[in-house]
Structure 1
Amino acid sequence: MALDGWHLQDTVKIPGKGSAWDYLALDGTHNHLFIGHRKEGLQVFDLATKTVVKTIAGTESASSNGATLAPEFDLGISNNENGTIIPFKLSTLEAGEPIKLGEELDTSHYDPASKRIVVNMASGADGTDLVVLEAPSLKQVGIIKVPTKKPEHAEADGAGNFYLAARDTEMVYRLDTKSLAVTASWPTPGCGQTNSVALDAANKRLMLGCRGNASTKPSFAVMNVETGAIVFSAEVGGGNDGVAFDAQLKRIFLTNGVNAVMNIFEQKDADHYAQVEALGTQAGVRSLALDPKTKTIYSVTAEGTADYSKKITTSVSPYYANTFFPDTFAVLTYGKK
């Protein structure tokens, strides 16, 4: 099998004070990459001019973790650490008023089938409340209770099913966003700290990025969402926080920030996969956004250090960066040779 030749094509520095970041979202229609840059807000990076053209109003003080997009309604929302969401128009980037949902939240996900948005709130003693909102009104229609304190990435299949990864319980939960119910829960053996997901809806396969634990190495795993069975797994780099699937290329990309590597797999068929290459990236390259039209991958990182006088997320790494230097944040573009 010949080398694909994925590599770093471009690096663009974004001036700033040195904040942490989280999720990325791509709006291909308007050529915008939304960057959840926490204390520096939800930044809008124009992919043509390679500049930040806007910071969504109100998202700096609210500390944005990233955006969720519902293009059919010209709607984006910023998911903020202070427990609010801030809606905005994808066309104009004009922000609406903040909506307070709780004391803290992580991210949200859009289900086009039910026209609903599922919000991962901060966990309680017995699990997490997922707040469900109607789109585009953003009216709350209910809550789905899940028995996990670390709900993570999720994807909808367009047919009423919604698949949520849970890092602490190492499970995948299947949800129905119309009936507001958990309809199945499946363990992920060999996939420690189940974290990131990408869905192959045609083959009914869920790609999982797994951070690993004391007994299991970080891995890429594939689940049959009809049975819940893990049909494939292979080792990847540590610190995964992103996985993307391109059905046309038959490629799966996993970004792993601790070991600074992007693992790339080929899908042979629904149950068989082969590693194509492992591209060296940079420390902190853990989130990604894939443009399915241009076959371009975007990520971000910054120069960081682990300051041991502050809290460190040791579940990821004992030296996981918690402090970032000003004017080192960058958008990285990856593509084929």
Structure 2
Amino acid sequence: MPVRVLVLSADFGAGHQAAAQAIAAACRSLSADCDAVVVQCHSPLLGLIRRAYLWQIRHTPDLYRRLYRLPPARPLRWLVIRVLGRPVRRALDAHTPDVVVGTHPFPAGAALHLLKRRGRRAVPVAMALTDFAPHGFWIWPGVARYFAASPEAARELIRRGADPAAVRSTGIPVRPALAEASRAPSEGVRRVLVIGGGLGLGPIADAVAALLRLPHPDLRVTVICGRNESLLARIRRHHGGDPRLCALGFTVDVPGHMRTADLLVTKPGGITCAEALALGLPMLLLDPLPGPEEENAAYLAGTGAARIVGAGHVAEAAEELLFRHPEQLEAMAAAALRAGSPRSALTIAAEVLALAGAAR
């Protein structure tokens, strides 16, 4: 009978789903006798929470920053269970897993609650964190494993109350193929990759416009706008005549574009930046949003792999690294490789399969 692995994600940004797919793929690659399934949990109330989050970070960022830093109270945890209880219950009933992994704390927390209430055989639940600094919502009683982004994040989890015996420093899960990949920048040109995440958030259009004002014919700018079709149309309308620009919508091959880039300009989302670290790609981090982006940016800048810049200064920073002081770019690339975890999903998968085997 195959080992059944259920990986739960939430409809709260593309990164959580990408991490879930990476773990499932790694589990299947390590065991031919593994049935690894990814379920993205949906709920009308979750959609409302998501829209409220987007409204807050755009219109009341200081308020959101203060709310984010508060420890999650018990009523908020009960709200999570209420919001996602039904879709998580359906997933548990449909797949009868030997182990559950969450790449978002909401469905994983709901799964913990439901599994305890059922009184069935114990099914371990693991949390694979998708940001470089852990939020308190990741910490639930009874978690079998926490997979943290770094040793610093592991220590912070323990400080916040996680069981030290359950915490592992693995890196954020990235696609298993990155374990064998390396960058191969194009010769004769300097290529900047600009990414706004799956939602295309942030001052992406301003950053692209600033980069294209640089007077370097050997500069190439590729921008990935995600599912933000209006952003893509705007960039093509204003800059489509510039042969140095390649403007794209949503793509699953972000690592392929990273492999040929010299520099990444991005919002500091956990998955995008973890993939960049795995490939040794230096980063300029644009105007971090309150909450996890600010914490991600602080960690990444501390590694030496990234610099935090505003959209108004991105061209100056890119020109310095690409054309004036390329030795600084090389130092950042080396720092990224040191901080990266290209085998993270495989390391997590090995632990997950061991948990499943112990629970059977």
Q: TM-score range by the shorter chain?
A: under 0.3
Bigger Rg, structure 1 or 2: 2
Bigger proportion of residues as helix: 2
More strand by share: 1
Higher relative contact order, structure no. (Cα contacts within 8 Å, ≥ 6 residues apart):
2
TM-score, scaled to structure 2: 0.23
TM-score computed with the length of structure 1 as normaliser = 0.25
